[in-house]
Amino acid sequence: MRRSIGIALALLLGAAVVVAVVLGNGAGGPTVVRGVIGSEKKPFFDDSRVRAAFEKHGLRVEVDTAGSRQIATEVDLDGYAFAFPSSLPAAEKIKKDRGVARVFSPFHSPMAVATFKPIADVLAGAGLVRDSGRGYQVLDIAKYLDLVAEGTRWDELPGNTAYPARKRVLLTTTDIRTSNSAAMYLAMTSYVANGEDVVTTAAQVPRAAGKLAPVFLDQGYSQSSTEAPFEDYLVMGSGKTPMVVAYEAQYLSRLFSRDGSITPEMRLLYPAPTVLSKHTLVPFTEQANEVGRLLTEDPELRALAARHGFRTADPSAFTDLVSRHGAPVARDLVDVVEPPTYDRLEQLIGTIERLYAGGAVPQAEGGS
């Protein structure tokens, strides 16, 4: 019943869009296409240059934000022309659920860690951060997980006078139950927790989830969408967010824009291993299809995406910007692992979610 209503609504919506297109063209104004996206892409869609580029093609793209996992599971998509989560697995799920034929992955971004020089120095002293020798710094995830397992606090790190906080050494993430950046972080940490291997079987899930649950739960309250903790990092500094898991693009976008938000103290670290987040647009209407096509093919929009820190099908746009800004960026990422499949990742998240609900101390053997 619910499904048939959904289809009826979708049909109505489709009809409404057709009417809107006809009317829109008649009135000379652009057609409004509304999508729900991961919050980290909102600055891109709000950029007046991006809006102007779409308007050249008769489109006005309006967006609401939600965690990518929420987009795939909770958000009522009937009111939207497209969904644009931050990962391929979430997009594949929506594609399957909605019976969409074609999706677009116009840009991608590796997961990174944004921090501050004094913090990076303290972590280097503790053996967690090293220089790659190729112009950027690397955070060793295996050593980080060891530190978390021991419950280490900042003021217990040797020689730490720069940040003697009494709270635990924990990367700030978003809420694993809602957000893609946290899920991508889980993907990379699960690779390490699973003995340097992608979690592929259900039997591996309880053990890996049990090991990784404190990485999320011990942080306390986490925000639901990726732009929020990154903004806290920019605005409130190391007191609230000494190190935050972010998309590389979030950091580079700010750096490239020279808006002053990236101060000389700030540092970008590449986790080893890391994962790539493939931002993938799932269209539900013809106009949204056009939005996806333009993002993928239109040279102007591709150039703007690079300015927003994304890596696109045209690597030179990105590397040119990196060179121009002297950014400490990994041009070719070597230590990249594949995320688990959607179902496996869901099992990992589901196991941690149950620990949230139950408040139980995670057991290495797992209870499910």
Quick one: which of 181, 189, 241, 280 contacts another protein (CB under 8 A)? 241
Quick one: which of 53, 72, 83, 170 contacts another protein (CB under 8 A)? 170
Task: Please state the separation of Cα 221 from the chain's center in Å.
Answer: 18
What would the x/- binding string for another protein be over residues 181 to 220, using CB under 8 A? ---------------------------------x--xxxx
Q: Note whether 261 binds another protein by CB under 8 A.
A: yes
Distances from the Cα of 213 to the Cαs of 64, 197, 263, in angstroms? 30, 18, 33
Burial (0-12, 13-18, 19+ Cβ within 10 Å), 332: exposed
Minimum CB distance to another protein, residue 235 (Å): 5
Q: Note whether 174 binds another protein by CB under 8 A.
A: no
Minimum CB distance to another protein, residue 62 (Å): 7
- C-alpha to C-alpha distance for 23 and 31, rounded to whole angstroms: 9
Instruction: Give yes or no for a contact between 157 and 168, defined as CB atoms under 8 angstroms apart.
Output: no
Quick one: which of 10, 314, 341, 356 contacts another protein (CB under 8 A)? 356
The site that binds another protein (CB under 8 A) totals a number of residues, namely: 47
Closer to another protein by Cβ: residue 133 or 260:
260
Closer to another protein by Cβ: residue 71 or 301:
71
Minimum CB distance to another protein, residue 238 (Å): 6
Quick one: which of 2, 28, 101, 221 contacts another protein (CB under 8 A)? 221
Neighbours of 156 (CB within 10 A): 15
Minimum CB distance to another protein, residue 272 (Å): 25
Minimum CB distance to another protein, residue 261 (Å): 3
Q: Note whether 51 binds another protein by CB under 8 A.
A: no
- C-alpha to C-alpha distance for 366 and 368, rounded to whole angstroms: 6
Quick one: which of 23, 25, 74, 149 contacts another protein (CB under 8 A)? 74
**32: alpha, beta or left? (left if phi > 0; alpha if psi -120 to 50):** beta
Q: Note whether 287 binds another protein by CB under 8 A.
A: no
Q: Note whether 238 binds another protein by CB under 8 A.
A: yes
Q: Note whether 239 binds another protein by CB under 8 A.
A: yes
Scanning 74-82, 120-128, 315-323, 331-339 for contacts with another protein by CB under 8 A, the matching segment is 74-82
Q: Which of 336, 162, 167 is nearest to 248 (CA)?
A: 336
**Given the rule CB under 8 A, which residues bind another protein?**
34, 39, 42, 46, 62, 64-66, 70, 74-76, 79, 151, 153, 165-168, 170, 178, 214, 217-222, 224-225, 228, 231-232, 234-241, 254, 259-261, 356, 359
